[in-house]
Chains A and B, each alone.
Chain A
C-alpha cells in the first residue's frame, strides 16, 4: 500500500490524524479565517501566511465514489472491490477529502460490499494506520 509522503504544508494534518483528530488548515489572519485544502503556504483569499488548524466534527457525505478494477498496483488489486470515495465535510461542504469507506475503524478497504455505497450517504471519520501513517477513513452512519 502507498503511504502519504508528508510535506511541510501537510505535516500538521497527519500529526492531528495520529491523535484521532480531523483538522483542516485555516487562515489565521484577522477577519479571514477561510479554510483551504489541500494545505499550502498562504491564503488564496487574503495572502496571509498565518495558519491555524481547525477541528472538524468528522461528519460528512459521500460526494462521489468509484470501484477500480485491475490492472492496479498489486496491494490494491488484492483488495478489489474497494471504494475510493470523495467525502464533503458537513462543517465545510466545499472541503472534500479523498478516502476509503470501511465497515469499522481498522477494517480492510474491501470490508463494505459495493451495493452499500451511494452518493449522498452520511459518513463519519475513523482513523487507521496505513504503513506507519495514520489516515482518515470513513464509516457509514447507518451501516
Chain B
C-alpha cells in the first residue's frame, strides 16, 4: 500500500516560501527565556450551540446567551466563574452584554479578533494565552449570527468604499463570492483544478451533514448532476460552492490543562495556535500581493507547525473553513497536506470522505451544516476528539481547525 500522506521530513525545511511545502516539525522549539508555551497548556472542556436554521425567532443576543450557557453546562462550570471572553469582529453581541446576561463574575480578560471569519480560531488562541499567563481562569468564546434572516454585509457596500474597496466595488466586484471567484478562476487556470474538484469538497461536506441531525442539510443528499446544473452565483462558482446563510450561535469553554482533568468531559487540548496576516496581504482581494494564490493559510501554517509536536501527515481529521469550496484546496496547500497546485487533485478518490486521506468538515461545515462564521468547525473538532461526532473518525486523536482563508486568519491544532 502506498502511504497517502507525506513522510515527515527531517531536513529542517522551514516553510512554503522557500520550498513550496508547509513547514514540518523539526523538534522542540527553543523559546526565549521567560516566555510561556501554549502547547497543551489549556483545554476545551465545554461546547454548546443553539439549533441552526434559515430563520430563528430569537435575537442574536438571546442566541449568544443560550450557546454560552449550554457550553458552561456541558463543562459543569458555573457562569459566575467565567472571567474571560473572546469573540471576533462582525459579532454584534459584545462581552458586556453576554457577561451581564449570564451572570458572569468579574471579568479580567476580553478580546476581539479582527477580520470576521478569519478570527474564529484566534478566540481560542487569545483565551489560551490569557489563561496560560494567569490573566484569567475560565474563558468563553462564542459566535452568534443571524445571517439567514438578517442583512447581508455586502448590501451595505457604500459604507465600505472609503476603504480600499474603492478599487474593486465600483467595477462590480461586489460580494465576497465575486472576490473569491476571481481567485478561483486564476487557480483553475494555473493548476488545472476543475469544477469536479470543487464538487468533491461540496459533496464531502454534504455527505457528513446527511449524517448530522443538527445540520441544515440533514437528509438532503447532493449529486454531481445537481451540482453541475445548479445556477451560477459568480462564475466559476455555483450555488453549491457557497456556504449556507444561517441563524444560530455556538460557544466553547476553555480552562487550564490542570483544571480540565477535573471536568466532566475528556479534555481537548489546544496544542498549537496561530494567526496569519501575510506580508503585503490585502484581504479577500489579495490580487495586489505578489503571489495572490499563497494566502494567509500559509502564514498561519508556518507558525502552527513550528510549535506542534506533529505534522500534517499526523492529522486525523480536519475542519477547514469553507465559506466557499475553493478555499479548501487553497487551505490544503497552505497547511501542508499537499504541494502547491495539488489541492484540487488531493480531493480525488474520496480523500475528504470518512476513511479517506483527510476526513473533512465532519458535521457538514459551513457548506452544509451551518455557516456561523466557522465556529461550528471548532465545536465539531471537539466532538471528534471526544469520540462523539455523528460522523466519527475512528480513534481520532488530532484535529486541525482553520478560520477564514482569504482574510487575515487563524488556526488551531487540537488533540486529546
Could you list which residues of chain A lie within 8 angstroms of chain B, going by C-beta atoms?
1-7, 10, 37-38, 44, 63-69, 72-73, 76, 79, 82, 84, 86, 94-100, 109, 119-120, 130, 133, 135
Contacts and interface: CB of A to CB of B under 8 A. Distances in A.
Given A5-B166, A63-B287, A64-B287, 17 more contacts: A1-B170, A2-B161, A38-B164, A65-B182, A65-B185, A67-B232, A69-B232, A72-B175, A76-B172, A79-B172, A84-B171, A96-B287, A96-B288, A96-B292, A100-B172, A119-B186, A130-B170
A120 B235 CA distance: 17
Given A38-B167, A94-B290, A72 B182 contact: no
A76 B234 CA distance: 13
Interface string B150-163: 00000101100110
B351 to A, nearest CB: 26
Q: Mostly helix, strand, loop or mixed at chain A's interface?
A: loop
A72 B171 contact: no
A109 B173 CA distance: 12
A66 B186 contact: no
Interface of B: 155, 157-158, 161-162, 164, 166-175, 177-178, 181-183, 185-186, 189, 231-236, 280, 282, 285, 287-288, 290, 292
Contacts of A73: 155, 157, 174
Contact of A2 (B155, B170, B235): B170
Contacts of A6: 166
B181 A10 contact: no
B166 A63 contact: no
Contact of A66 (B169, B178, B282): B178
B175 A38 contact: no
A5 B164 CA distance: 9
A4 B161 contact: yes
A37 B186 contact: no
A86 B174 contact: no
A22 to B, nearest CB: 13
6 contacts: A1-B170, A67-B232, A69-B231, A73-B174, A76-B174, A100-B171
Contact of A64 (B175, B177, B182): B182
A28 B211 CA distance: 61
B171 A98 contact: yes
Contacts of B172: 68, 72, 76, 79, 82, 84, 100, 109
A2 B234 contact: no
A79 B171 CA distance: 11
